[in-house]
A and B are shown apart, each in its own frame.
Chain A
Amino acid sequence: MPSTRTDEPLVRVDGLVKSFGSTRAVRGASFSIAPGEIHALCGHNGAGKSTVVKMLSGQEIPDDGEIRIAGEVRDLRSRQAAQRSGVALVDQELSVVPALTVAENLMLGDLRVGWVNRRRSSGRRFRTLLDSLGLGDIGLDRRVSELSMGERQLIEIARALGQEARLVILDEPTATLSDVESDYVYAAVRNVAAAGCAVLFVSHRLGEVLGLCHNVTVMRDGAVVATTPVAELTIDSLIVQMLGEAPHRLDPRSGDDRGGDADVLTVSGLSVPGRVDAFDITLRAGQVCAVAGQLGSGASDVLRAIAGLVPAATAEVRVDGVAVRPGHPAASAGAGIAFVSNDRKAEGLFLDKPVSWNLLATRLPHVTRFGVINRRRWTATLAGLVELCGLDGRRAGHSVGSLSGGNQQKVFVGRCLGRDDVRVLLLDDPTRGVDVGGRAAIHALLRDAARRGMAVLFSSTELEELLDLADVVVTMHKGVVVQRHEGETAGAVLLREMTHGAATVAEVPR
């Protein structure tokens, strides 16, 4: 085994290129994985990791380059083709079906299970499969809904293995798991590798990358920076590879005194079971604060809970000293909290409706008198908002769905602005999927809102955004606050805290 491991890679990726429109998402990615190797793929957001994963798993077809598995060039043009070539993907999102049993889930998408399910023969096969992952105590007839999230993730891995995989790709498998649950996954991954598979492990958690993997390929701006054995890496050197020249913020903001010291938003003891543990924050008028955290860190849950959109959340939220009834979005809105979701399509705009309707959707009481729309007020308010957001007034009657992503986001943010009754503006990843120009415009809108006395709280993973926009950055990892940064802040510190938490920093050799 060790000899094959060094000589003959099982998977070899050579010069992969993929463009979307004029954006080159991946510009020449090459690396190779030996049998039995756990290979990490790291990179900051937008580095091109997920595009590489999609090309390997047959969800995107490369523009150029080759993928070799066991020495043969493979044409992976669909998920089925990838599966037949022995590539199995464990996705970020769980795709097990809770209502079915373990065995039934394992049969889904398994090419060897024919039209007529032969339970008995597959049962024996599944049993050995589960045992090999340390799931010996889980019966094949248990419903997946009875299992914990970690166990479900393992079932997902088992399903991937059941397809006789030679390359197993795990895309952030532990992002939403607790430490104990993650440990099960690590053990399973080691077993998989020990059986001779190649494992590609995509993760934001640098600690687990160093602890689990053999080699690390770091990508930045669509290209591979380096492939390094973990023995030669530390958290810090990994972060340097990921960031290149690390962004750094020198001068502390002078704006802290502009809104006086009145506390606008006070949140204490915010907890969401399994997601966020005892989050506290206090925001003054005119302050822009960021909650920085990767997927599963709880940053997004904090914002949603303050907006009243998480029924399970417990918290004491006060706006201008007045307590807000938790779990009721309309109550939060009434108290002066405006929320901009990270899912603009599903939970944000009314795409089929005109720009004007969307901009005024949250302030219907202000443009009506005794419930009847006052046309003069409607037009005046609309004109003011269109001006404020820098939109084209002639398009106010067009449906929002016909605008570009950046302009849609302007409408989404803009509908919370220019109102005296909004005290707190919550934005969940406000510039996701927005181009550079649109991003600058939205940042300007948010700064302007703060200058007018709003308290702005947003979540983000983009270092530049965190450093440019926020007066205060609170980093989160696995549901708890790591550190609060005011004033001078280094991007590398933020990234380390987001990807690694606080407790283990001391262990890392400097």
Chain B
Amino acid sequence: MNLLATPSRLDAEAPHQSRRSRTDVAITAIVVLAVLAAIVMGLSTHRFVTLANAKAILTSASLVGIAALGLTLITIGGSAVSLAVSQTVAVAGMVFLSAQSLGLLPAFVIAVVCGTVITGLQGAVVGYAAANPVVLTIAASFAITGVATGVSGGTTVSPTGTGYDVLNATPGGVALSVYVLIVMALVVEWVLRRTGFGRSLYLIGENRPAARAAGLPVGRTTVVAWLAAGALFAVTAAFTAAFNTSANVNLGGTLTFDAIAAVLAGGTPISGGRGSALRTLAGAVLIAAVSDILLLRGYSTGVQIMVKGLIVLFVVVIVHLRAKGRQA
């Protein structure tokens, strides 16, 4: 009976293989076409291929990118997304500016601690009590805004010193935040690939019950991911506040969804277990570059936002189809 089983299994697998590869070929073709179209669009756009424009793209990608790196950790770990990014950034930014009288570094440290604690608390509830991260962070975003409004009296915070201006420096003609983005992306990528924490995070993100049954520290790993994410949100906050030279509860603006868009456009699936920091970096740059092309071609803001949505949709569908192809 066993001898009979072998050939029939092989037969059964053969069509699967060919179907999988056909889907793969189709997906690859679509991706290649899309990339070619983008390149053609870029090359044919006046003033797109210039050093100054490259710097502009990177600068506009940098603030969203740093926050998106933090979000990447949350997403890979299977906690979907945090919807409280903007609010956390606003609070950390307000703290950063009002602590300027202590000097730049202490103010920065205080802001990072603030972002870390706020986000880490949410991570603890998600990690240990298995709360739904989406619901929890919606609630948290209201709580954070409420407390911040109460404490600040609803006013705009002005800097109490001038140390913050260092963050607006442009060494080598490129904004400081771009260097920070690149360094942070490399650090996060290294942590994900080379540390036990990174491995656990991928495993927990892929199958949380299995990780639990295997005795992995599910709660602790999740909390560490959220803590790190909070620190990265605070870094974004410091740069955003320094750039604006003032901060109120709306400092974060549309950052939450911009960061989510960057993570998704990089091809990190929302369900967790896969993805990387470098992908998120690419996603942030991709969105910034496409917005830049549209801007240079004179399209309105409305069109830019709509295209951002289409990019996210496109990548998410491609990622989904590829994942399905792998399972088949």
Interface residues of A (CB under 8 A from B): 21-23, 307, 309, 329-330, 332-334, 338-339, 341, 346-353, 357, 360-362, 364-365, 367-368, 371-373, 399, 401, 415, 435-437
Contact = CB atoms under 8 A, between A and B. Distances in A.
Nearest to B198: A373
Nearest to B206: A350
Contacts of B207: 346-347, 349-351
Contacts of B9: 21
Interface in B210-240: 210-218
B195 interface: yes
B12 interface: yes
A373 B215 contact: no
Contacts of A346: 207, 209-210
A353 B214 contact: no
A367 B117 CA distance: 31
B2 interface: yes
Given A309-B212, A347-B210, A352-B274, A22 B5 contact: yes
A307 B196 contact: no
A373 B8 contact: no
Given A23-B1, A347-B209, A353 B195 contact: no
B203 interface: yes
Given A353-B202, A357-B203, A373 B196 contact: yes
Nearest to B214: A362
Given A330-B218, A361-B203, A361-B214, A435 B5 contact: yes
Interface in B167-202: 194-197, 199-200, 202
Given A309-B213, A339-B213, A357 B199 contact: yes
The 3 closest A-B pairs by CB, nearest first: A333-B215, A368-B196, A364-B196
Interface string B79-97: 0000000000000000000
A199 to B, nearest CB: 35
Contacts of B1: 22-23
Given A330-B217, A357-B199, A371-B195, A21 B210 contact: no
5 contacts: A329-B215, A346-B207, A347-B209, A348-B210, A437-B2
A350 B5 contact: no
Contacts of A437: 2
Contacts of A332: 215
A364 B209 contact: no
Nearest to B193: A373
B218 A348 contact: no
B327 interface: yes
Contacts of B273: 350, 352-353
A435 B6 CA distance: 12
A399 B215 contact: no
Nearest to A399: B326
Given A401-B327, A435-B2, A352 B206 contact: yes
A347 B210 CA distance: 4
The binding surface of chain B is classed by DSSP as helix
A418 B141 CA distance: 47
B95 to A, nearest CB: 30
Nearest to A365: B196
A350 B203 CA distance: 7
B1 to A, nearest CB: 7
Contact of A371 (B8, B197, B217): B197
Given A329-B212, A437-B2, 13 more contacts: A21-B9, A22-B8, A23-B5, A350-B211, A352-B274, A352-B326, A361-B203, A361-B211, A362-B214, A364-B196, A372-B195, A373-B199, A435-B2
A348 B213 CA distance: 7
Interface string B117-154: 00000000000000000000000000000000000000
Contacts of B214: 329, 333, 339, 361-362, 415
Interface string B91-105: 000000000000000
A349 B203 CA distance: 9
Contacts of A360: 199
A330 B216 contact: yes
Contacts of B216: 330, 333, 361-362, 364
B4 interface: yes
Nearest to A335: B215
A485 B213 CA distance: 29
A437 B197 CA distance: 37
Contacts of A352: 206, 273-274, 326
B5 A307 contact: no
A373 B207 CA distance: 21
Contacts of B203: 350, 353, 357, 361
Contacts of A351: 206-207
A477 B35 CA distance: 63
Contacts of A399: 326
B218 to A, nearest CB: 7
A367 B200 CA distance: 13
Nearest to B202: A353
A483 to B, nearest CB: 30
